[in-house]
A and B are shown apart, each in its own frame.
Chain A
Amino acid sequence: MLRRHGPALVLLARQRGLSAADAEDVVQEAFVSLWKKAEANGHVKDHAAYLFASVRNGSLDHLRGESRRQRREAIVAREMDAGTGSLFEQDAEQDDLAARVQVLLSDLPDEQREVLVMKVWGGLTFAQIAEATQQSPNTIASRYRYALTALRGLMATEMQP
């Protein structure tokens, strides 16, 4: 389950602005939380939705506090300078696309970006994302469409000379 969902979960935490180390901590806590909940209740309705919800909420908790935010931004900036801050796998053919998408993602509103990450890279259905974010599936579908529309607009702007 870690191999299947781990990268997307880390991506979800990192697109929120967490450093790589903090993002992995949040993912680890999400898995431990899932394990404890499954042990206590014996049943978790949707493991993937639970994990993404835990990482989402854990990331938000992690970001609380001004001093922590400033420290996190400094770490992320150092990672970007060192070339280790890429959210996507390094691939010669996709490097340019990855760099562009990473920049464009940061321009999206948080609620649209998280839906995009869960849908495209997490492989979750709208119903699962709705459960993870405590929103209605129609709201999630709308946010997804808005996110892609916004990306299309940003890409078109980029392409203009």
Chain B
Amino acid sequence: MNESLHDMNDDDLLAIERELTKLKPAAHSPSLESRLEQALALPRSRSIASAVPLRWQGWNLACLGAAACLAIIAAWHVSQPVVVTPGKPDVNGAVAGVSEPPPQSLLAMQQAMARSDTAALKAVDAAAASSPTSARTSSPLRACNTQDLFAVLDGL
């Protein structure tokens, strides 16, 4: 490969090349340099921010905003007093003024207690009926003497 006309062994062509090299291309306008500086400065400043791609920056901002909104809503909700409207279910599903039906086991226990109370009351009533001071009463309280009751209260 010939890098110059010296290797081409052609004096005429060499002379023409010399003539051409006497000419200098017209200088570019001074504004090209400043325009180029501006054009290169723009992507350079953008590249600092583009360490994280723009689309990820958007997603990050959106996620942060959504999380902040949720936190504010949660804090506001917790700070609100619980208002229970009768007849309407509260946040737990319970209805004010309406007792929940007890579980079957609890119901059976309550019924058993009622039966034992009845038996005890019957036993007390039977004892009272046999007492001479309260022969007319059938209630345990009525079976008690008033003075005895005050004595009990004083002892408390």
Bound together: yes
Listed in ascending order, the chain A residues whose CB lies under 8 Å from chain B are: 2, 6-8, 10-11, 20, 24, 27-28, 31-32, 35-36, 39, 86-91, 94, 97-98, 101, 116, 120-121, 125-127, 137-138, 141, 145, 148-149, 151-152, 155
10 further contact pairs, Cβ within 8 A, besides A27-B32, A97-B23, A126-B1: A2-B28, A2-B33, A6-B27, A10-B26, A24-B35, A28-B32, A88-B26, A120-B20, A151-B20, A152-B16
B:18-69 near A, CB below 8 Å: 19-29, 31-33, 35-36, 39-40, 43, 47
A32–B40 contact, CB under 8 A?
Answer: yes
Does any Cβ of A come within 8 Å of B70's Cβ? no
B-side residues, CB < 8 A to A, are 1-3, 5, 8, 12-13, 16-17, 19-29, 31-33, 35-36, 39-40, 43, 47
Contact: A11 with B1, CB < 8 Å?
Answer: no
Chain B contact surface mostly: helix
For the complex, give the distance between the alpha carbons of A98 and B20 in Å: 9
Residues of B within 8 A of A39 (CB): 43, 47
The distance in angstroms between the C-alpha atoms of A101 and B23, with both chains bound, is: 9
A105 and B93 CA atoms in complex are apart in Å by 93
Across the interface, which residues of B come within 8 angstroms of A155, CB to CB?
Answer: 16
Return B51 CB to nearest CB of chain A, in Å: 12
Closest to A7 in B: B25
**B40 CB contacts on chain A under 8 angstroms:** 31-32, 35
